[in-house]
Amino acid sequence: MDSKRTEKTAFIILLLATILVIVPVALIILMVLIKGLPALTGEFIFGMPREGMRAGGILPAIIGTAFLVLGTAIFCIPLGIMAAVYLNEYAGRNWLTRVIEIAIINLAGVPSIVYGLFGLGLFVTFLGFGASILAGSLTLAVMTLPVIITATREALIAVPRSFREVSFSLGASRWQTVRSVVLPNAIPGILTGAILGLSRAAGETAPILFTVAAFYLPRLPQSIFDQAMALPYHIYVLSTQVPNVSVKIQYGTILVLVGMVFILNVIASIIRARFRKRKTW
Amino acid sequence: MKKTFEAIIEKMIFLSGIASILFVVLIFIFLLKEGLSLFATVNPINFLFGKNWYPISDPPQFGILPLVLGSLLVTFGAIVIAVPLGIAAAVYVAEVAPLWLRDILKTGIELLAAIPSIVLGFIGVVTLAPLLKNVFKLPSGLTALAGSIMLAFMAMPTIVSIIEDSIVSVPKSYKEGSLALGATHWQTIYRVTLPAAASGILAAIMLGIGRVIGETMAVLMITGNAAVIPTSILQPVRTLTATIAAEMGEAVAGSNHYYALFAIGIILFVISFIINLVADRFLHKK
Amino acid sequence: MSKIKVKNLNVYFDAVRVVKELSLEVEANEILGIIGPSNSGKTSFLKTLNRLNELYLNSRTTGEVYLDGKDIFIEIDKHLLRKRIGIVFALPLPLPLSIYDNVAYGPRLHGIINKEDLSQIVEKALRAAAIWDEVKDRLNSSAFRLSGGQQQRLCIARTLAVEPEVILYDEPCSGLDPISTLKIEEAMQELKKNYTQILVTNNVKQAARVSDRTAFFLMGELIEIDETKQIFTAPKDKRTEDYITGRFG
């Protein structure tokens, strides 16, 4: 029965390893909750920063992040959906398709700081947008594009082939088939992927460092050409650049960002679950 | 009328399709545009292999060897920690955990993936660094080891989910065949299932490496920012990514310092390209 | 002039030739049955007629096919062709829509958006498919709520709604109960008045019941085609006889 004992030991080790991975997650969440919750007052969420960010609220950062997410969505979601439609519904199996796929893999793997450099070089400097919500959104959009394309592709692939065949057999053109049968049935999957992609964009610091993030801007952005504060950058600044910031404010800001990201994730999960239930095929 | 509308839409769809290629090319071009300007005045060999990174001294020195070694050290440490743990966790979740626990664990891993890296960096600085400082009696806990541990955590969701997928897609018949011959579940796992999932495990490692090498903010906060050639993992180091983030704010546009940071960007771009391509090969080898 | 004329048709999937030098003619308003064992090329042949094979990236065709004297590959736009030649698949394949929207899907594609026109078309098609009475009170419910036989008749209605001239059936009753099968066969007889129909079937007896002429395919070749009575009582080719009598299948 030696092998049985080996198995038992092995499984205990595996369990311990898994616990080692999971427990810190729970601890981190608890820590952020416990230390950050006390900070969440009305003034904190809706007020402006004061005293060089040691007091007051983080509204500009919240609004800045919201605008960035909105801008990112506008730039990358339609483009990403159409790109995925091309790949799955139109493209043949040729070298061009392969090159596109390699490009997407590449885009997905580029380090976020390199996106920051790219944004600085192209949007801020070359196109002259300056450090702005526009430049930041465009940079985040390029970064999020591969996520949207991949998620949309998977949603499109999940639509049964037979739907398309039926549509074509009735004399539909390819675009008609995509528009009336494929896309409507892929929307929940696309939405889920898009929300998850945007939630990642919301939490990114490196791409916005040189393209939009303002260190201290105690007013709300007035136009897309304005710089803006943003939550991830604000966290960075509060932890490294501003001396004597209260722990409460630091964790409060973290909690707001993490809360935003989690809420988006939960919404995406709900969409995914409800769709699975409703799916008649 | 309708036909032209459709033709326009289909043209737009095609253009969107090739947009990805356009963006990759654009990124590369803009990195090159600024980065290559460095080599008008600085010898590439000195850049790549120079041991001194003193961009603001007079005269400035742009040797990235300490940064490269910093990145390599932190990455290596992270992979050494993350891969065994990741395989173990993936095996547990995919093969051993009872169903009710499986969902909780998978949710936990997804939560980890959702936490922004800046937050993990911050948590690392306030919890992990002091811990290491006490345990190893160091002047500061902001070290390569701290970075490796945090990065291992960040890479974990990627690694675990890919390996888990690979394990799950090993044909049931392999497992059943092994059990039918009298092997225990554990023996089946390490003799049959894991080897069969090997290409997926390799892909996970590569993608994990890619994830880790590309991480910026967390390493910036937790590895101590000393751009010197590391001799031990308990030292502060500086990675390629953190350098860009830390110094771009001060680099004057058009200066050599500015170009040098873009040049580092080129290197990161090329490295991640190769890693991701190789990983994709492994993933599709099945 | 025959409704459909096929000359030296070859269909390839990658390097495999699944239809070999096939020539035949289909007369207007007849029901042509096509029988033969699996992998005889019956479905591939059928899907060539409405150029549905072109959806599969690895398919290739040589030879000529004429609809009312016009070459379907050169002289007729393929979307229009598919409107004129409809198809009912082997499995009932309702779209994830209501019964009404399933039938209205085709006409809407072709530009009919007026609500009253659509309702008329939908009712006419459902009646012709012999299913109107069963669904008239629940047109807005999901098509998936219908039984298999009803779904298949819904698919026939859906095909009829675009007003084709030819209807192709690819083993439409496999997997259906005898009563549904009977209903469909009766509908086919009714439809003869206005449509040309080609029925591919694995069920030899169904071909005997329903079709005016029958063609026997074997391994991609047309072995024999004749009046149904003739095929089933005195087939000219021994292979036909062996298949019909069940010596192989």
Instruction: Locate the DSSP E strands across C14-121.
Output: 16-26, 31-35, 59-67, 70-71, 85-88
Question: Which of 37-66 (B) contact A at CB < 8 A?
Answer: none
| Residue-level pLDDT at C248 | 80
Structure tokens at A269: 């999960």
Confidence band for A155, pLDDT divided at 50, 70 and 90? very high
Question: Could you give the 3-state DSSP secondary structure of residue C146?
Answer: coil
Mean model confidence pLDDT for chain C:
93
Q: How large is the average pLDDT for residues B214-218?
A: 93
| Residue-level pLDDT at B226 | 87
Contacts of A176 in chain B (CB under 8 A): 6
Give the domain ranges of chain B.
48-283
Is it the case that residue B249 has pLDDT exceeding 90? Answer: no
Contacts of A166 in chain C (CB under 8 A): 89, 93, 95, 158
Confidence band for A223, pLDDT divided at 50, 70 and 90? confident
Q: Is B211:B157 a contact under the CB 8 Å cutoff?
A: no
**Residue A30 CB-density burial (10 A; 0-12 exposed, 13-18 middle, 19+ buried):** exposed
Q: Per the CB < 8 Å rule, is A169 touching C79?
A: no
Distance CA B127, CA B218 (A): 13
Q: How large is the average pLDDT for residues A55-74?
A: 93
B80-95 exposure pattern, b = at least 16 Cβ within 10 A, e = fewer: ebbbebbbbbbbbbbb
Q: Per the CB < 8 Å rule, is B241 touching A206?
A: yes
In this complex, is the C-beta atom of B26 within 8 Å of any C-beta atom belonging to chain A? yes
| Residue-level pLDDT at C58 | 87
CB pairs below 8 Å between A and C: how many? 62
Closest CA to B185 of B84, B93, B96, B102: B96
Q: Per the CB < 8 Å rule, is B280 touching A100?
A: no
Question: Which of 252-281 (B) contact A at CB < 8 A?
Answer: 253, 261-262, 265, 268-269, 272-273, 275-277, 280
CA angle (A168, A172, A176) in 5-degree steps: 115
Q: Per the CB < 8 Å rule, is B221 touching A87?
A: no
Q: How large is the average pLDDT for residues B162-183?
A: 91
Give the domain ranges of chain C.
4-244
User: What are the φ/ψ torsions at residue C216 (nearest 5 degrees)?
Assistant: -110, 120
Closest CA to B54 of B233, B252, B243, B245: B243
Task: Return the minimum-mean-pLDDT range out of A37-51, A256-270, B207-221.
Answer: A37-51
| Residue-level pLDDT at C83 | 94
Q: Which residues contact C33 (CB under 8 A, 6 or more apart)?
A: C199, C200, C201, C206, C207, C210, C211, C213, C214, C215, C228
CA angle (A236, A239, A244) in 5-degree steps: 145
Q: Per the CB < 8 Å rule, is B17 touching A24?
A: no
| Residue-level pLDDT at A215 | 82
Find which of C50, C55, C142 to mutate to test the A interface (most A CBs within 10 Å of its CB): C55
CA distance A275 to chain B (A): 19
Closest CA to B162 of B211, B220, B116: B211
Distance CA B133, CA B142 (A): 8
Contacts of B188 in chain A (CB under 8 A): none
Closest partner residue to B217 among A10, A175, A236, by Cβ?
A236
Q: Per the CB < 8 Å rule, is A103 touching B276?
A: no
Q: Is C80:C111 a contact under the CB 8 Å cutoff?
A: no
Mean model confidence pLDDT for chain A:
92
Residue B36 exposure: Cα atoms within 13 Å on the Cβ side: 6
CB pairs below 8 Å between A and B: how many? 238
Indicate the residue type of B14: F
Distance CA A225, CA A129 (A): 7
Find which of C46, C82, C99, C159 to mutate to test the A interface (most A CBs within 10 Å of its CB): C82
- Report the residue of chain A nearest B250, measured CA to CA: A210
Is it the case that residue B285 has pLDDT exceeding 70? Answer: no
Scan for tokens 């110094």, then name that residue: B247
Closest CA to B14 of C153, A167, A82, C77: A82
Is it the case that residue C141 has pLDDT exceeding 90? Answer: yes
Q: Per the CB < 8 Å rule, is C83 touching A93?
A: no
Q: How large is the average pLDDT for residues A31-50?
A: 89
Structure tokens at B40: 């008008």
DSSP letter, residue B237: B
Find which of A161, A164, A170, A174 to mutate to test the C interface (most C CBs within 10 Å of its CB): A170
- Report the residue of chain B nearest A247, measured CA to CA: B126
Q: Per the CB < 8 Å rule, is A171 touching C55?
A: no
Domains, chain A, ordered by start: 59-278 (1.10.3720.10)
Closest partner residue to A15 among B17, B19, B92, by Cβ?
B92
CA distance A19 to chain B (A): 8
Q: Kindly report, residue by residue over C188-240, the tens digit of the pLDDT.
A: 999 999 999 999 999 999 999 999 999 999 999 999 999 999 999 999 999 99
**Residue B174 CB-density burial (10 A; 0-12 exposed, 13-18 middle, 19+ buried):** middle
Find which of A88, A167, A169, A279 to mutate to test the C interface (most C CBs within 10 Å of its CB): A169
Indicate the residue type of A210: F
Note the pTM of the prediction, 2 decimals. Answer: 0.91
| Residue-level pLDDT at B286 | 52
Is it the case that residue A246 has pLDDT exceeding 90? Answer: no
Closest partner residue to A165 among C55, C110, C144, by Cβ?
C55
Instruction: Quote the crossing angle between the two packed helices A59-85 and A183-202, to the nearest 10°.
Output: 140
Q: How large is the average pLDDT for residues B107-133?
A: 92
Q: Per the CB < 8 Å rule, is A111 touching B262?
A: no
CATH T-level assignment (fold) for domain B48-283: MetI-like fold (1.10.3720)
**Residue A162 CB-density burial (10 A; 0-12 exposed, 13-18 middle, 19+ buried):** middle
B206-241 exposure pattern, b = at least 16 Cβ within 10 A, e = fewer: bbbbbbbbbbbbbbbbbbbbbbbbbeebbbbbbbbb
Mean model confidence pLDDT for chain B:
91
Confidence band for A54, pLDDT divided at 50, 70 and 90? confident
Q: Kindly report, residue by residue over B16-54, the tens digit of the pLDDT.
A: 999 999 999 999 999 999 999 999 988 999 899 999 999
Query: What percentage of residues in chain B have a pLDDT greater than 90?
Result: 68
Where does C4-244 sit in CATH, by number? 3.40.50.300
Q: Per the CB < 8 Å rule, is A165 touching C86?
A: no
Chain A contact partners (≥3 CB pairs within 8 A): B, C
Q: Kindly report, residue by residue over B11-24, the tens digit of the pLDDT.
A: 999 999 999 999 99
Distance CA C26, CA C48 (A): 14
List, in sequence order, every residue forming a beta bridge with C62; answer none if it has no partner. Answer: C10
| Residue-level pLDDT at C50 | 94
CA distance A104 to chain C (A): 23
Handedness of CA C90, C95, C98, C99 (dihedral sign): negative
Is it the case that residue B269 has pLDDT exceeding 90? Answer: yes
Higher per-residue confidence, A145 vs B283: A145
Closest partner residue to A280 among C105, C108, C142, by Cβ?
C142
Name the helix (H) or strand (E) containing B30: helix B2-35
Q: Which residues contact C178 (CB under 8 A, 6 or more apart)?
A: none
Distance CA C37, CA B121 (A): 67
Q: Is A260:A204 a contact under the CB 8 Å cutoff?
A: no
Confidence band for B254, pLDDT divided at 50, 70 and 90? confident
List, in sequence order, every residue forming a beta bridge with C9; answer none if it has no partner. Answer: C22
- CA-based radius of gyration for chain C: 18
The ipTM assigned to this model is 0.92
Contacts of A162 in chain C (CB under 8 A): 89, 91, 93
Contacts of C81 in chain A (CB under 8 A): 171
Q: Which residues contact B267 (CB under 8 A, 6 or more apart)?
A: B64, B240
CA distances (Å), C210 to each of C155, C185, C187, C218, in order?
Answer: 19, 7, 11, 21
Distance CA B176, CA B187 (A): 12
Contacts of A181 in chain C (CB under 8 A): 95
Closest CA to A253 of B242, B147, B116, B219: B116
Q: Per the CB < 8 Å rule, is C106 touching A171?
A: yes
Q: Kindly report, residue by residue over C65-112, the tens digit of the pLDDT.
A: 999 999 999 999 999 999 999 999 999 999 999 999 999 999 999 989
Q: Kindly report, residue by residue over C193-202, the tens digit of the pLDDT.
A: 999 999 999 9
Is it the case that residue C154 has pLDDT exceeding 90? Answer: yes
Contacts of C96 in chain A (CB under 8 A): 163, 185, 280-281
Indicate the residue type of A147: V
| Residue-level pLDDT at B59 | 87
- Report the residue of chain B nearest A111, measured CA to CA: B214
Closest partner residue to B92 among A17, A79, A113, by Cβ?
A17
Q: Is A201:A143 a contact under the CB 8 Å cutoff?
A: yes
DSSP letter, residue B119: H
Contacts of A1 in chain B (CB under 8 A): none
**Residue C180 CB-density burial (10 A; 0-12 exposed, 13-18 middle, 19+ buried):** buried
CA distance B43 to chain A (A): 22
User: What are the φ/ψ torsions at residue A167 (nearest 5 degrees)?
Assistant: -60, -45
Indicate the residue type of B254: G
Q: How large is the average pLDDT for residues A184-195?
A: 94
Confidence band for A244, pLDDT divided at 50, 70 and 90? confident
Distance CA A202, CA A182 (A): 29
Q: How large is the average pLDDT for residues A97-107?
A: 94
| Residue-level pLDDT at A87 | 96
Q: How large is the average pLDDT for residues A62-84?
A: 96
Q: How large is the average pLDDT for residues B1-8?
A: 85
Handedness of CA B87, B90, B95, B98 (dihedral sign): positive
3-state SS of chain A is CHHHHHHHHHHHHHHHHHHHHHHHHHHHHHHHHHHHHHHCCHHHHHCCEEHHHCEECCHHHHHHHHHHHHHHHHHHHHHHHHHHHHHHHHCCCCHHHHHHHHHHHHHHHCCHHHHHHHHHHHHHHHCCCCCCHHHHHHHHHHHHHHHHHHHHHHHHHHCCHHHHHHHHHCCCCHHHHHHHHHHHHHHHHHHHHHHHHHHHHHCCCHHHHCCCECCCCCCCCCCCCCCECCHHHHHHHHHHCCCCCCHHHHHHHHHHHHHHHHHHHHHHHHHHHHHHHHCCC
Find which of B33, B87, B119 to mutate to test the A interface (most A CBs within 10 Å of its CB): B119
| Residue-level pLDDT at B70 | 93
